[in-house]
Chains A and B, each alone.
Chain A
């Protein structure tokens, strides 16, 4: 097929590669999965009380989750970058 470069990466892999599942990666996974649990469990927030500034719970709760999920994605992003840097030994960014 095509003659793309890509082979040079091969030898680096076998030596002391850390396990695929590490505590950090589990945390990343949880950060990304949490919004799904919260938002798909509609029964947990389909109610009007308590209100906030006159907004029924249903509305302000979901808007609050925009902010929460953003925070969680940022945490995941930071952890992921650190994880990647550790794995490549700082050789490539």
Chain B
């Protein structure tokens, strides 16, 4: 990819990497609690984070390195369609404003660590809880793998990724080192490590974006010049499809796709286990609500970042692999030392979410598979130990995934993961507001959504792929092209409602609800919250 190693950029990159590594290990001592052998401590940072830490943590968690690479890459490749990430992140915040505080409250009252904990407690159904947990783990794994792809893109452009001819071990060594270090401090410090590192990550990202959005357009002759260069590129006709390669504004036929992708993604984002882990680590219900009003700052940054895709076109960046477009733009445009800062921002941007995701997946495994099915009498100390080990396993799995399989496999699975995780919405968000849905109906709806979504995505072909070529397909009954995940979600709800009516008519056993209405509005300081966190065993004796 590159003509030799960029020494200065690499030195700056390594400097920041070492800095966050030291911080990662020291984080174990940050706000340390007496009882460190509980999942609340390792997996949720003691549930102690205030508004700003939560803001950095959630921002560092949701806006990942892959986002930074993939969103501009999509714009670089196809134009307007890639910009859906902006309305998507606009819609997320009014949405979570309505339900996330309720989840926080009920989780604090009952000591829930994962969404599946809540689902089990609310519906008294280990089966439904297992379905939610498995979906979460499945959807998270490829997401972690993609963070590695993000780091790889940066290493490639710096010239340390090695060419195709290099021995695989030498080629992948930098990635192995980066991941080994990440795994080690996540193991020792838990959620505190990414929380602390997120400060560095976001500071660097904001700095890089601010500079890029001013400096690069000046060098390229302003936004007028940038967009006319992009318009020219997109009007070229793709030989395979006979259509233009992209557009500056979505055409009539693309409106449904754009809107459904934005809405479906917004609904799905806070179903991901890592989003919930960061949410539950906050100190109070107010922290969550307040964060919905300050998190959009990241969306603004994302919008600006997306524009870099157009700049890459105008700057004449020509890469076969769109993932490399933005790192290459930085290398071409910035002086070497600042390119190093930009690469560090992306690289560290991969470490924070990768750490949180592996913790979240590990918590799901520990709480909802290990404890519910394998060792019901596990002590909090044992839970923590299992979670730590699983967080390692999850990362090794993701690494093996990236190193042994083609990158497109990870991207395909990530695409599927988005469709899958959305299918847990009715059980989780539905459950936060009503107990009307029947637990078996929710399992039925989930299964139908999963099967339909997977099958529909399998059937999407693209010029380069026969299957999983995209996330949009014709919506049955409407005929427009729309996001598969959202279609599956609508189907899921329809099935859930119908089955609930049937099961209620048949008087099928409803399961025991261990929550009470006041649980959903409790805040820190209320009885049963914060002061007395149940020692991770609340609700354990439940049947089913």
Contact partners of A20 in chain B: CB under 8 A: none
Contact partners of B109 in chain A: CB under 8 A: 4, 6
Check A93 against B525 for contact (C-beta < 8 Å).
yes
Interface residues of B (CB under 8 A from A): 80, 83, 86-87, 89-91, 93-94, 97-98, 109-110, 222-227, 248-252, 254-256, 258-259, 262-263, 289-290, 292-293, 296-297, 299-300, 303-304, 307, 512, 514, 516, 518-519, 523, 525-528, 534, 538-542
Contact partners of A8 in chain B: CB under 8 A: 527
Asked if A4 meets B223 with Cβ closer than 8 Å, knowing A62-B90, A63-B300, A69-B93, the reply is: no
For residue B451, give the distance in angstroms from its CB to the closest CB of chain A.
Answer: 27
Check B303 against A62 for contact (C-beta < 8 Å).
yes
Asked if A77 meets B224 with Cβ closer than 8 Å, knowing A2-B539, A58-B249, the reply is: no
Most chain B C-beta atoms within 10 Å of own C-beta, residue among A32, A55, A73: A73
Asked if A77 meets B91 with Cβ closer than 8 Å, knowing A2-B110, A2-B539, A63-B303, the reply is: no
Check B303 against A2 for contact (C-beta < 8 Å).
no
Secondary structure call for the B interface: helix
Secondary structure call for the A interface: helix
For residue A55, give the distance in angstroms from its CB to the closest CB of chain B.
Answer: 5
For residue B230, give the distance in angstroms from its CB to the closest CB of chain A.
Answer: 10
Partner of B538, one of A2, A53, A62: A2
Check A80 against B300 for contact (C-beta < 8 Å).
no
State in angstroms the CA–CA spacing of A4 and B93 once bound together.
31
Give 6 closest A-B pairs by Cβ, nearest first.
Answer: A54-B223, A39-B87, A54-B224, A42-B255, A32-B94, A9-B518
Check B523 against A40 for contact (C-beta < 8 Å).
no
Identify the closest chain B residue to A55 (Cβ): B223
State in angstroms the CA–CA spacing of A71 and B471 once bound together.
32
For residue B302, give the distance in angstroms from its CB to the closest CB of chain A.
Answer: 9
Q: Is A86 an interface residue (CB 8 A)?
A: no
Asked if A58 meets B248 with Cβ closer than 8 Å, knowing A36-B94, A77-B289, the reply is: yes
For residue A50, give the distance in angstroms from its CB to the closest CB of chain B.
Answer: 13
Q: List 17 additional A-B contacts (Cβ < 8 Å) besides A1-B512, A2-B110, A73-B293.
A: A1-B542, A2-B514, A2-B539, A2-B541, A6-B518, A6-B528, A32-B94, A32-B97, A36-B91, A42-B254, A42-B256, A55-B307, A58-B250, A62-B90, A69-B94, A74-B293, A77-B292
Contact partners of B97 in chain A: CB under 8 A: 32, 73, 76-77
Check A46 against B94 for contact (C-beta < 8 Å).
no
State in angstroms the CA–CA spacing of A32 and B539 once bound together.
34
Q: Which of A40-83 contact B (CB under 8 A)?
A: 40-43, 46-48, 53-56, 58-59, 62-63, 65-67, 69-70, 72-74, 76-77, 80
Check A54 against B262 for contact (C-beta < 8 Å).
no
Check B255 against A65 for contact (C-beta < 8 Å).
no
Check B249 against A56 for contact (C-beta < 8 Å).
yes
For residue B422, give the distance in angstroms from its CB to the closest CB of chain A.
Answer: 16
Q: Which of A1-41 contact B (CB under 8 A)?
A: 1-2, 4-10, 31-33, 35-36, 39-41
Check A43 against B300 for contact (C-beta < 8 Å).
no
Contact partners of B303 in chain A: CB under 8 A: 59, 62-63, 66
Check B538 against A4 for contact (C-beta < 8 Å).
yes
Interface residues of A (CB under 8 A from B): 1-2, 4-10, 31-33, 35-36, 39-43, 46-48, 53-56, 58-59, 62-63, 65-67, 69-70, 72-74, 76-77, 80, 92-93
List 16 contacting pairs A-B, 8 Å CB cutoff, sorted by A.
A2-B538, A2-B542, A4-B538, A32-B98, A35-B91, A40-B259, A42-B254, A42-B256, A46-B80, A55-B227, A56-B227, A58-B80, A58-B249, A62-B87, A65-B90, A93-B525
Contact partners of B297 in chain A: CB under 8 A: 70
For residue A69, give the distance in angstroms from its CB to the closest CB of chain B.
Answer: 5
Identify the closest chain B residue to A41 (Cβ): B259
Check A42 against B258 for contact (C-beta < 8 Å).
yes
For residue B4, give the distance in angstroms from its CB to the closest CB of chain A.
Answer: 36
Most chain B C-beta atoms within 10 Å of own C-beta, residue among A4, A7, A74: A4
Contact partners of B83 in chain A: CB under 8 A: 58-59, 62
Check B527 against A39 for contact (C-beta < 8 Å).
no
State in angstroms the CA–CA spacing of A2 and B534 once bound together.
11
For residue B311, give the distance in angstroms from its CB to the closest CB of chain A.
Answer: 12
Contact partners of A33 in chain B: CB under 8 A: 94
Contact partners of B90 in chain A: CB under 8 A: 35, 39, 62, 65-66, 69
Partner of A92, one of B110, B222, B526: B526
State in angstroms the CA–CA spacing of A31 and B93 once bound together.
12
Partner of A66, one of B259, B290, B300: B300
Check A6 against B223 for contact (C-beta < 8 Å).
no
Contact partners of B250 in chain A: CB under 8 A: 42, 46, 58
